[in-house]
Structure 1
Amino acid sequence: MSILSNGFFKNYSNILLLLAGIFIGSLVGLFARDVVIYLKPLGDIFLNLLFTAVIPLIFFAIASAVANIDQSQKLGRILSVMMIVFVSMVLIAAIVTIIAVWLFPFNDNLATKGAANVALGDDHLGWGDRLVGFLTVSEFNQLLSREHMLAFIIFSFLVGIASLRSGEAGEPFRKLLHSGNEVMKTLLGFVMKLAPIGLGAYFAYQVGTVGPQLFGIYAKPLGVYYLVGLFYFLVFFSLYAFIAKGKKGIGIFWKANILPSITAVSTCSSIAVIPPNLEAAKKIGIPESIANVVIPLGASLHKDGSSMSSIIKIAVAFSLIGRPFMEPDTLLLALGLTVLVSIVAGGIPNGGYIGEMLMISAYSLPVEAIPAVMIIGTLVDPMATLLNATGDTVAAMVVNKWIKR
């Protein structure tokens, strides 16, 4: 009995400590809201350390994975299969949400009174300039900011390709990339030791400040989103795991997905979940050559939760102005937008504002709809991040399945 107990705590001590920290933080947020403002710096310190360490980890993970890729698994095949899986999962998530909105339509009297005004920023830029700024940066130092995450990922990817194509002359550099990847994973392990305190403090602040708003005027849209999100999370992720590895795949995935799920809900950041996702992929048995490409890229390019939230936001905006949502042309455009939004929405907290502006612009909606979609976007962030981030691991399982065929 003692041996079993020791084994249990040895294997699950990190998760138990993390759950304890979040539970205590939730209680503080509910019953001592005046205190949460003093706890927030602890959470911010942890997140800053996490984000700082994640940037070089992403570089080494992607570049080393591409540079050292198994010649039997061509990079082009991995990328093509990955994008097919990403787009398919995003569209399935959107269709599931459309069905939910059809079953539980929103009223047309949702109020925007009291909604916070949000600065739109960069409205003077054309779409061409926005595309350039989204995919590239003008100075190397700008790559190191998480605000330019997709540009940074593209650069890391190109470095990996250049290393792969350099032949024998690039061998020392390829070893450096592999060594750097191992060092940064160890560094992330050190940072994650602070997770129970950091995430507990951050969670206390979230519960103490955002929590009460969940029962406001947007209760029905939020209720629909969280219910359909939970349904998709449990049912469809299990289905994807079954497709990848059969019945055993379901158990393997959910056992490995505990820590990534907790990190996603606590941080509301897809980037922050990359390290636990990579660890989960290792436990599941996904080769590093696939996991180190699919998971970091998925943090920016694959977002089931953002896809579902974009449908909810469009439905809310249409409800506000009294326009019918269940029209064929509206739904087709919504499906197209979900694919774009899943790419545009950044892997940082509240990073979907650009995608929301894209939605407003595409439908030529009045400015009165903007505060509503901003509020919805903020309040669905925990569930959206849970779906966005943990979906990358199950997507990697499916990619691995089809690569092996």
Structure 2
Amino acid sequence: MKKKLTLPVQILIALLLGIGVGIVCYAAGLGSFTKDYLKPFGDIFVNLLKFIVVPVVLFSMIEGILSMGDMKKVGAVGWKTVAYFMVTTAIACVIGLALASVFNGAGLFPTLSAAGVTYEASEFSGFMSVLVSIFPSNMWKAFSDANMLQVIVIALFFGGSILAAGEKGRLCRDIVSSFYAVIDRLMAFIIRLSPIGVFTYMAWVVATQGAEILGSLALVILCAYLGYALHAIIVYSTAVKVFSGIGPLAFFKGAFAAMMFAFTSTSSAATLPVSKECAEQLGADRDIAAFVLPLGATINMDGTAIYQCVAAVFLAACAGMHLTLGQMVTIVLTATLSSIGTAGTPGAGMIMLTMVLTALNIPVDYIGLIVAVDRLFDMGRTCMNVTGDISCSICVTRWERKNFRR
């Protein structure tokens, strides 16, 4: 009997086939064919993931809270998770800024004119407004809008309340467990379709973005991807090795399926079901993974932070600005804070880039210079974000196990 291919291998094969088909279609001028007849199948798959992501986050987080047994452990896991994300995001900003400064200083960044390009910036309403918006006024609207921060808050309130209700909350506990078991089976079925989504999306991206890859922004894209790779290898694999004893090769092999799906789908939220499976296979406790991963998909944006730093330095060069040390510190602080507020959806990083540019007094219209290739940046930064979520769930699991032994 032939051995069945594992999901990571299936995804890798789909990725390579997608690249091959994309190159052929690009050379033959069939980019519109991939857009009209291949990409729709990828869209269907992503729609299925988006359809299931809200119930996955809601029930997995509540189940995770109930499995922990008390809110003290939830609080302990919560602050360790946020601390991990804050530290790694700050490091990501430094790596991105350092690489961008080296590339720019060596004259590798092109100096493009922003004449004729425009970008409509989304208004940032301020920190307090964002804080208020985290708390839902209508539970069903939070579900229908897939507002992940609000869904997380709802899960925290319901999970904590069920625990506080004790024996009287047993029926709700059983209902949550039953729903989660059903959602878990549905999620497993949808994940089996992921090679189709990876193949169709990869073929479409290569066939339609080939010209931009070979264009004047190639070195800017290379700088960002070098930052992504360095951060993943130096920060994530080191953290996992030090705190959990898992070697870099084993870690990346275990996280590969989620990384590749995030790379093609450009959505941390849509990748959650795959991330959860990878994290548990790497040794993360089910309850901790159920808590950390949805939170990470919402607030952990290391890849976005690197992208914002690289893009800010590049666009500053295009605007004829020479950044001072104080302005670089401003980039690190602003990129760290804005990346935390970035939604786990395609293209959200570009919206938050407006905050960084505004802090540096760079005209927001300059974003128009990189809009055409934002998809290419987005693929790498989403892959980075998801990898960070998985590494955090593994590290927090090990920290909690040590505390338990005491």
- Same fold, TM-score > 0.5, yes or no: yes
Could you tell me how far 1:159 is from its partner in structure 2? 1.6
Q: Counterparts in 2 of 1:75-94, with a 5 A limit?
A: 75-94=74-93
Could you tell me how far 1:251 is from its partner in structure 2? 4.4
Corresponding residue number in structure 2 for 1:119? 120
Q: Contact (CA 8 Å) 1:274, 1:299: kept in 2 or not?
A: yes
Q: Counterparts in 2 of 1:182-193, with a 5 A limit?
A: 182-193=181-192
Q: Contact (CA 8 Å) 2:120, 2:365: kept in 1 or not?
A: no
Match of 2:366 among 356, 366, 369: 369
Aligned amino acid, residue 11 of structure 2 = L
Q: Deviations over 1:339-393 (max 9, x none)?
A: 2222222111112233122222222322332313545643311110110011101
Distance in 2 (alpha carbons) for counterparts of 1:266 and 1:240: 26
Distance in 1 (alpha carbons) for counterparts of 2:293 and 2:257: 15
Q: Contact (CA 8 Å) 2:101, 2:313: kept in 1 or not?
A: no
Q: Counterparts in 2 of 1:192-207, with a 5 A limit?
A: 192-207=191-206
Q: Counterparts in 2 of 1:7-22, with a 5 A limit?
A: 9-10=3-4, 12-22=5-15
Corresponding residue number in structure 1 for 2:387? 390
Moved more, 157-166 or 256-265: 157-166
Moved more, 309-318 or 203-212: 203-212
Aligned amino acid, residue 213 of structure 2 = L
Corresponding residue number in structure 2 for 1:51? 50
2:212 equivalent to 1:213: yes
Q: Given the two structures, how large is their TM-score scaled by the length of structure 2?
A: 0.89
Distance in 1 (alpha carbons) for counterparts of 2:112 and 2:146: 32
Aligned amino acid, residue 139 of structure 2 = F
- Aligned pair count? 394
Moved more, 56-65 or 105-114: 105-114
Give the % identical residues.
25
Distance in 1 (alpha carbons) for counterparts of 2:62 and 2:199: 33
Moved more, 381-390 or 312-321: 312-321
Q: Given the two structures, how large is their TM-score scaled by the length of structure 1?
A: 0.89
Q: Deviations over 1:220-244 (max 9, x none)?
A: 2211111221222233322111112
Q: Contact (CA 8 Å) 1:61, 1:293: kept in 2 or not?
A: yes
Moved more, 367-376 or 167-176: 367-376
Q: Counterparts in 2 of 1:269-348, with a 5 A limit?
A: 269-325=267-323, 327-348=324-345
Distance 1:116 1:160, change over 3 A: farther
Moved more, 178-187 or 16-25: 16-25
Q: Deviations over 1:73-116 (max 9, x none)?
A: 61111111111111011111111222212322264762145886
Distance in 1 (alpha carbons) for counterparts of 2:292 and 2:308: 23
Corresponding residue number in structure 1 for 2:225? 226
Distance 1:169 1:53, change over 3 A: same
Aligned amino acid, residue 365 of structure 2 = E
Q: Contact (CA 8 Å) 2:65, 2:71: kept in 1 or not?
A: no
Match of 1:380 among 374, 377, 396: 377
Secondary structure, counterpart of 2:257 in structure 1 = helix
Distance 1:262 1:304, change over 3 A: same
Q: Contact (CA 8 Å) 2:191, 2:273: kept in 1 or not?
A: no
Distance 1:240 1:146, change over 3 A: farther
Q: Contact (CA 8 Å) 1:256, 1:280: kept in 2 or not?
A: yes
Q: Contact (CA 8 Å) 2:38, 2:201: kept in 1 or not?
A: yes
Q: Contact (CA 8 Å) 2:50, 2:270: kept in 1 or not?
A: yes
Could you tell me how far 1:207 is from its partner in structure 2? 1.2
Could you tell me how far 1:16 is from its partner in structure 2? 3.0
Distance in 2 (alpha carbons) for counterparts of 1:72 and 1:155: 15
Distance in 2 (alpha carbons) for counterparts of 1:18 and 1:263: 8
Secondary structure, counterpart of 2:345 in structure 1 = coil
Corresponding residue number in structure 2 for 1:174? 173
Q: Contact (CA 8 Å) 1:356, 1:373: kept in 2 or not?
A: no
Aligned amino acid, residue 149 of structure 2 = L
Q: Contact (CA 8 Å) 2:117, 2:366: kept in 1 or not?
A: no
Distance in 2 (alpha carbons) for counterparts of 1:86 and 1:142: 28
Could you tell me how far 1:129 is from its partner in structure 2? 7.5
Distance 1:46 1:69, change over 3 A: same
Distance 1:189 1:116, change over 3 A: farther
2:347 equivalent to 1:350: yes
Could you tell me how far 1:36 is from its partner in structure 2? 0.2
Any gaps of 5 or more consecutive residues in structure 2?
A: 26-30
Secondary structure, counterpart of 2:271 in structure 1 = helix
Corresponding residue number in structure 2 for 1:26? 19
Q: Contact (CA 8 Å) 1:46, 1:195: kept in 2 or not?
A: yes
